[in-house]
Every structure is written in structure tokens, then in C-alpha cells.
Amino acid sequence: GALRHAAAAPLLAALATQEEQPGTLRAHAVRALGSIGVPDMLPVVLACARSPHEAVRGRAVVALGAFPVPEAARALGEFVTPGAEPDLARAAVRALREIG
């Protein structure tokens, strides 16, 4: 992810979506997908934002800030509603600022 190498995106997407993988590994994969910012990976990041694993959800919400498209903004809006998890809500607000 730090190298922003788009060729790594499919492997990262596979890691991020494999529920049998450790949550921390999946969270790092989602973070890297956000760093790379390949538009085709938006559905993967959106799916990870609904993960039952807290770290995966959190990283996905942050990663959505790398996708300046209405679909990402709408998804982030779901995390700033009343009753949302406070940490996710703060991360969603920051990501929405990145989107603009």
C-alpha cells in the first residue's frame, strides 16, 4: 500500500475479504487498499466497512476517504447517524473531509 502499487490491489482485496484470516491482517489489507486508491476496489472497501470485526470496519471507514465518489460519501454518511459507534463516526467525518 505504501508504494501505491495498483498490481497489489487484487491480492489485498482477497486478504481483506477472507473472513478466516485474522482481523488484524484484514485491517492492514483494507488500509493498503485505501492507500493505493484503485477505483475498482471500492466495492471491497465498502464490504469491509460492514465487517463484524471492529478493526476491519475502522480501517475501511478511513480507507473510504481515498475514494472521492458519491457512493463512498453515502456509505460514510451511514456512520455519522445517531447511535453510530463514536470512533467510527469520528473516522467517517475525517474521511468525508478528505473526499471534500
pTM value is 0.90
What the block records as the C-alpha cell of 14 is 482477497
H helical segments located in the chain = 9-17, 23-36, 42-48, 54-64, 70-77, 86-99
Largest CA distance in the chain: 39
Stretch 20-36: mean pLDDT: 95
List pLDDT tens digits, range 39-70. 999 999 999 999 999 999 999 999 999 999 99
Q: In this structure, which topology does domain 6-99 adopt according to CATH?
A: Leucine-rich Repeat Variant (1.25.10)
Predicted pLDDT of residue 4: 62
Q: What cell numbers appear for 53 in the block? A: 470485526
Domain coordinates of the chain in residue numbers? Answer: 6-99
**Rounded distance between C-alpha atoms, residue 29 and residue 1, angstroms:** 8
Q: What pLDDT does residue 3 have? A: 52
Tell me, what's the pLDDT at 1?
A: 47
